[in-house]
Amino acid sequence: MSLNFFFHSTNSIYFLQVSLQSAFLPADKNGNEKMWKYIVKRLLLIFVVLFGVTLVTFSAMHFAPGDPAELIALARYGSDLSSEQIEAVRAMEKLESSVCIQYMKWMDQLLHLDFGKSLISGDDILTEILIRLPATIKLAFSSLCISLLIALPAGILGALHKNTFLGQACVFGSLLGVSIPNFWLGVLFIWLFSLNLGFFPSFGYGGIEHLALPALTLGTSMAAVTTRLTRASMLEALNKEYIITARAKGLDERTVILKHALKNALLPVVTFSGMQLGYLLGGAVVVETVFSWPGIGKLLVDSIFARDFSMVQGCVIFIAVLFSLSNLAVDILYAFLDPRIRYEKHN
């Protein structure tokens, strides 16, 4: 049961327990050995899944309505086509061989890390993706920072002042945040910060002023979920017996909360942030489009509009690989971070 189960639902905490159970798997008497078995098993599974991904992507491209050669020719030469042009493309792209053989050839290329060439510009796809990668990474990390800066204090306050107005405001605010579509939030931010106040440019790529609005948009919408998670796990930690013990032995409240409760409560937050990062690396499509941020998501959308199918294929495969690997990393990280698993290892 992989962690990305999560992102298909608005209220992610709901599924945290289900998703994180996968990380409990290695927890056994001889934990260390099990751990390696688990990692190997997950890696094998990822290969199976990625094979499925290539199959789905390839067949989606090939069974899409329309003749592929005609579509490619359309993308290359514009709307008035002669049948010779279509046949020329068919010969050039080796589309006359059977689908099976085409798939095998394509897989062979993929396994040699050759994503092929763009149908329109003729550029190497992997190079193009790698050129866009830094922008996506920059955006992902800065929005994650913003999200944590908002979510951690809000979640902790929400848990500590559970029954007061402040706590309720945190709950309400995070529910509101979950409900705001991030493209609308982006548009609102452009209107407020760029058009009215003139603080930041509304689009473009370059310095920190260009990064500000997209990162703020993504950061605030992610913070909503993280706040809920922080609050929930903080509440759970505060109910534990070791908190009573800590209080009973006369520690001041600050130490109890920051050292005893928060440290334990942070575990799911850390793993969740890891997951969010993986998700951002592959999929900030909408926000990247709103702000014309030249990342992978924008590349994907642009290629879909240009009907550059080989580029779309490449982007989708790249995103899926990135996402699967980062989820695996998070699963392993969780197993390593969980003190219960470490405890069992010592036995």
Q: Which spans of this chain sit near another protein (rule: CB under 8 A)?
A: 1-2, 4-5, 7-11, 13-18, 21, 24-25, 45, 48-50, 52-53, 55-57, 60-61, 64-65, 172, 175-176, 178-181, 183-184, 187-188, 190-191, 195, 232, 236, 278-279, 282-283, 285-286, 289-290, 300-301, 304-305, 312, 316, 319-320, 323-324
Considering the complex, state which of residue 15 and residue 77 has its C-beta at the smaller distance from another protein. Answer: 15
Query: Minimal distance in Å, beta carbon 305 to another protein?
Result: 7
Give CA–CA dist 80/96, Å, rounded: 22
Smallest distance from the beta carbon of 233 to another protein, in angstroms? 8
Instruction: Give the burial class of 298: count Cβ atoms within 10 A of its Cβ; 0-12 exposed, 13-18 middle, 19 or more buried.
Output: buried
Report, in Å, the least distance between residue 241 CB and another protein: 14
183: tokens are 């493209």
Q: How far apart are alpha carbons 4 and 328 in whole angstroms?
A: 10
Q: Would residue 64 be called left, alpha or beta, if left means φ above 0 and alpha means ψ between -120 and 50 degrees? A: beta
| 28 vs 93 by CB, closer to another protein | 28
> Half-sphere exposure of 249 toward its Cβ, with a 13 Å CA cutoff?
8
Comparing CB distances to another protein, the nearer of 94 and 340 is 340
In the 3-class helix/strand/coil scheme, how is 195-238 assigned residue by residue?
Answer: HHCCCCCCCCCCCHHHHHHHHHHHHHHHHHHHHHHHHHHHHHHH
* Least CB distance to another protein at residue 290 (A): 8
User: What single-letter amino acid sits at 79?
Assistant: S
Give the nearest distance from C-beta 196 to another protein in angstroms. 9
Distance in Å, CB of 12 to another protein, minimum = 10
Which residue lies nearer to another protein by CB, 205 or 279? Answer: 279
Of 234 and 257, which has the nearer Cβ to another protein? 234
Sign of CA dihedral 180, 184, 188, 194: positive
Q: Least CB distance from residue 282 to another protein, whole Å?
A: 4
97 DSSP 8-state letter: S
Torsion of CA 92, 96, 102, 108, to 10 degrees: -40
If the CB atoms of residues 251 and 332 are measured against another protein, the closer one turns out to be 332
- Choice between 191 and 242, CB closer to another protein: 191
